[in-house]
Amino acid sequence: MKIRRRFRIVFKGQRYIVALALFVSISTILFILLSFRTSVYQSFELSSAVLIVDEDDLNDGKIKSTFNLQVLRSDYFNTTHLTCRYPKLTIDNPVIWKHLNPVKPLPPTCEITRNWVYVKNESSIEFLYVTVGTFRLTEEALNRYGPISCAYYPIIRSKDDFGTTEGDRISPVDDKMPLVSDFFRVHCQGQHNTSYSNVHMGIRFDPTLHLRRIKNPIVKTHLGYNILMFGFDSVSRMTFMRFLPKTYSFLIKELGAIVMKGYNIVGDGTPAALLPILTGQTEQELPESRRGRTGAVTVDKFPWIWNQFKDNGYVTQWAEDMQSVGTFQYRLRGFLDPPVDHFGRPFYRYAESRATSRPLCFG
């Protein structure tokens, strides 16, 4: 009896082991199949994405349509009722071309010495595997100059738009460290007295900003698109297509960008070009903010469009180069407080003032 009982116990234990092994095997197979199915579906979804574009945007830029584009005929948008009708222009008009002076390409001086440091969005254990801006050392630098020791200096906005300072030094900096600031200066030492110093830009992950979409969820009827607006001062739509054809083609064919053909400056100067589209009002309709004028105030209280995006759960950013002639700082009093979550002015104010052998070669 004891032998039989022991045999039953052993046999029963073996059945449990076999069952467990089968369960693990089947689960693994299902996981692999589901992962494969998901990756195939995502690849198919990306490869079969169809972008809806305006036929005029293709024709104006002399761009050929491809299989991933659904073209809206030029008469799809009824513009006959518009009071202001923009003229139909062409990029290859010989009458215009004889007055144009294309800029000659400059040699890529920034490539003479490669950066040791770069910023990459990577999954972080510290932030529960959320993708965050990460400090990285290049493989090339590590192989040629390693081991490398770096010091990190956060670049911080002062009390207003006209001051920038450095935060406390962080050293040593580990490769794959999440950024502690959007902008920073880095100084690295390598073997054989080699060194690297530069300023870099990224996006520091701030979990509190991402709580907005929980507190203020987007209405289901809204599209919830990420919205990017690019402005090129003193460059007309036609000039953009003539001298930046690859960029224009990428925006249309790869991103399905919308070209605002009816957009016009309302007045003279950059504020007149941007204030109407960013606030819905002209400079004359907004509070007096010109320097030296009686009662002039900062532009913080203007009805900026990014405030509406914040109210709908968005994370916001504003940046422009050539800070010495900033749109809202050259004639106007600028911002007292940062207007958006990620404000680029401190970076350009700091970086553009640096006297280096490679000006404007930033990280």
Mean pLDDT by runs of 10 across the 363 residues of the chain is 47 51 43 36 46 82 81 74 81 89 76 85 72 92 94 96 95 92 96 93 91 81 82 87 92 87 87 95 96 96 95 92 92 96 95 75 80
Cβ proximity of 109 and 361 under 8 Å: yes
> How do strand 69-72 and strand 51-54 relate by DSSP bridges?
parallel
Residue 112 pLDDT? 66
Bin 306: left if φ > 0, else alpha if -120 < ψ < 50, else beta: alpha
Q: Prior bond to 147 cis, omega within 30?
A: yes
In angstroms, rounded to a whole number, what is the distance separating the alpha carbons of residues 248 and 244? Answer: 6
The predicted pLDDT at position 218 comes to 77
Alpha carbon distance 289, 255 (integer Å): 37
pLDDT in tens, 82-97: 777 778 888 988 998 8
Give the max Cα distance, the chain. 109
Please state the domain extents for the chain: 1-48, 116-201
Contact 209, 341 (CB under 8 A): yes
β-sheet bridge partners, residue 180: none
Q: The tokens 């510290």 sit on which residue?
A: 126
The per-residue pLDDT for 46 is: 38
Distance of CA 318 to the CA centre of its chain: 10
Q: How many CB atoms lie within 10 A of CB 283?
A: 20
Are 188 and 196 within 8 A, CB to CB? yes
* Rounded Cα gap, residues 361 and 107, in angstroms: 13
Looking at this protein, which amino acid is placed at residue 359?
P
What sign does the CA torsion over 45, 46, 50, 52 have?
positive
Measured between alpha carbons, how far is 250 from 257 in angstroms, rounded to an integer? 9
Cis ω for the linkage preceding 303 (within 30 of 0) = no
CB 199 within 8 A of CB 362: yes
Which residues of the chain form beta strands (DSSP E)? 51-54, 69-72, 117-124, 130-137, 149-157, 164-166, 177-178, 183-189, 195-201, 317-318, 342-343
Are the C-beta atoms of residues 204 and 181 closer than 8 Å to each other?
yes
Task: Tell me the pLDDT tens digit for each residue of 302-322.
Answer: 999 999 999 888 999 999 988
Q: What is the pLDDT of residue 134?
A: 94
Per-residue tokens: 110: 């920034």
Alpha-carbon gap, residue 145 to 137, rounded angstroms:
11
